């Protein structure tokens, strides 16, 4: 009874706690928060100074004892207390309008496939401590598939590849469950590292992560582009110690990314090899669906399609699919509860 009353006054929320970006969806309102998963911490006192956008702005501009950390590594909680503070910040921010209440919402959170019991407990406990009344978990590729409006509850096979910042997750979904999944710790962040490494090896140029990401998004590709592209890459020459600018081409960057891109493609191929033949027949008809920010790398869909011989496309709005899908699960809990991950937290405490 009390629970029913509570669900009227506090709005349920869905959270995609990504390695790179976190998104929050409020039932009935849609996506209300999109912020980088960054927390600025004072190392001397352990105090959290800023979260999200604010914290990202501080990166590289603060005294050495203030560090910007990412509380999640490969989508899994690596720093429990910081994750809890970040969740509390999101929950409170999402409920800003209702300052006169102390809302304890039901919260659904996306987690990578195959998280361990310990990892599940860490996320649930952090959300509980941050103010959630009930915590549900949903696997990210499942949420992405629901967000893409694939028929996850039907018998046909759905093949989804979520390429985020920290992980690439491949999942085959049928009858509301994940039939097979693979997780690889190579995704968007690794591609940035590849560009940093390339600049160092090739030109003795030290570049920052933001520069690397801008180059990746600007001219990075997995498959030859129709038109040649170039961008200046700015950094510090490691020999002279002086600033330097070097013009790099899409071809240079494609070469820098080649190894990691190949690992992603191989992971997809391995999943295809392991897919039961009946489901594979469905997948050949329905195609491979890509989600996550990493899937936006130019030509990656073309390369995957060429290598697997299965039609491949990026779903609409790939970076918000997980949180939208999780939100849809919240809105239709009766119908979709079978897609939730089993936890001991499905019921509120007595
Ligand atoms: N246009 C683009 N081209 C290439 N990469 C992109 C583009 N836009 C975003 N990205 C990359 O997408 C990644 C972030 O994607 P996303 O927000 O889906 O990750 P996440 O959900 O936070 O991570 P994870 O799911 O691994 O925990 C970053 O590495 C970013 O550089
Ligand atoms: Mg993600």
Q: Using one digit for the tens of pLDDT, what is the confidence trace for 87-113? A: 888 888 887 655 555 568 899 999 888
By alpha-carbon position, which residue is closest to atom 31 of ligand 1?
188
- As a whole number of angstroms, the distance between CA 83 and CA 89 comes to 10
Could you tell me the pTM of the whole model? 0.92
The residues lining ligand 1, judged by C-beta closer than 6 Å to any ligand atom, are: 18-21, 75, 164-167, 187-189, 213, 216-217, 220, 292-294, 296-297, 319
- CA 31 vs CA 217, 291, 304, 319, 324: distances in Å: 24, 17, 30, 12, 8
Tell me the CA–centroid distance for residue 16 and ligand 1, in Å.
Answer: 13
Tell me the CA–centroid distance for residue 211 and ligand 2, in Å.
Answer: 22
Q: Using one digit for the tens of pLDDT, what is the confidence trace for 145-199? A: 999 999 999 999 999 999 999 999 999 999 999 999 999 999 999 999 999 999 9
- Comparing 112-126, 282-296, 322-336, which segment has the lowest mean pLDDT? 112-126
110, 139 Cβ separation under 8 angstroms: yes
Phi and psi, residue 200, nearest 5°: -70, -50
Buried b (16+ CB within 10 A) or exposed e, 80-90: eebbbbbbbbb
Q: Which two tokens mark 87?
A: 């969740």
143, 329 Cβ separation under 8 angstroms: yes
144, 322 Cβ separation under 8 angstroms: yes
| % of the chain surpassing 90 pLDDT | 67
CA angle 216, 68, 207 (to 5 degrees): 35
46: Cβ contacts below 8 Å, ≥ 6 apart: none
Give the mutation target among 119, 165, 300 for probing the ligand 1 site: most ligand atoms within 8 A of CB. 165
Tell me the CA–centroid distance for residue 70 and ligand 1, in Å.
Answer: 14
Burial of residue 7, with CB atoms counted within 10 A of its CB: 0-12 exposed, 13-18 middle, 19 or more buried: middle
């Amino acid at each position: 009874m009390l629970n029913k009353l509570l669900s009227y006054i506090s709005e349920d929320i869905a959270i995609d706690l990504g390695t790179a970006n976190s998104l929050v969806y409020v039932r009935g309102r849609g996506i209300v928060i999109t912020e980088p998963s960054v927390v600025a911490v004072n190392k001397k006192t352990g105090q959290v100074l800023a979260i999200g956008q604010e914290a990202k702005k501080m990166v590289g501009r603060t005294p050495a004892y203030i560090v910007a950390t990412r509380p999640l590594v490969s989508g899994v909680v690596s720093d429990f207390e910081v994750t809890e503070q970040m969740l509390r910040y999101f929950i409170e921010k999402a409920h800003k309008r209702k300052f006169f209440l102390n809302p304890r919402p039901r919260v659904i959170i996306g987690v990578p496939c195959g998280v361990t019991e310990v990892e599940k407990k860490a996320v649930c406990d952090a959300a509980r401590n941050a103010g959630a009344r009930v915590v549900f978990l949903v696997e990210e590729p499942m949420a992405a598939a629901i967000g893409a409006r694939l028929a996850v509850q039907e018998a046909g096979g759905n093949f989804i590849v979520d390429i985020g910042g920290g992980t690439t997750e491949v999942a085959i979904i049928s009858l509301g469950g994940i039939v097979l999944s693979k997780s690889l710790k190579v995704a968007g962040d690794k591609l940035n590292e590849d560009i940093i490494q390339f600049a160092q090896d090739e030109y003795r140029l030290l570049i920052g992560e933001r520069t690397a990401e801008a180059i990746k998004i600007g001219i990075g590709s997995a498959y030859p582009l129709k038109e040649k592209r170039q961008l200046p890459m700015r950094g510090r020459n490691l020999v002279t110690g002086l600033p330097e600018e070097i013009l790099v081409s899409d071809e240079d960057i494609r070469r820098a990314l080649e190894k990691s891109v190949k690992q992603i493609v191989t992971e997809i191929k391995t999943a295809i090899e392991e897919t039961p033949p009946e489901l594979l027949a469905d997948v050949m008809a329905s195609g491979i669906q890509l989600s996550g920010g990493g899937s936006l790398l130019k030509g990656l869909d073309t390369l995957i399609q060429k290598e697997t011989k299965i039609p491949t496309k990026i779903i609409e709005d790939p970076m918000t699919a997980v949180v939208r899908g999780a939100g849809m699960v919240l809105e239709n809990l009766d119908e979709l509860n079978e897609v939730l991950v089993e936890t001991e937290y499905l019921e509120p405490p007595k």
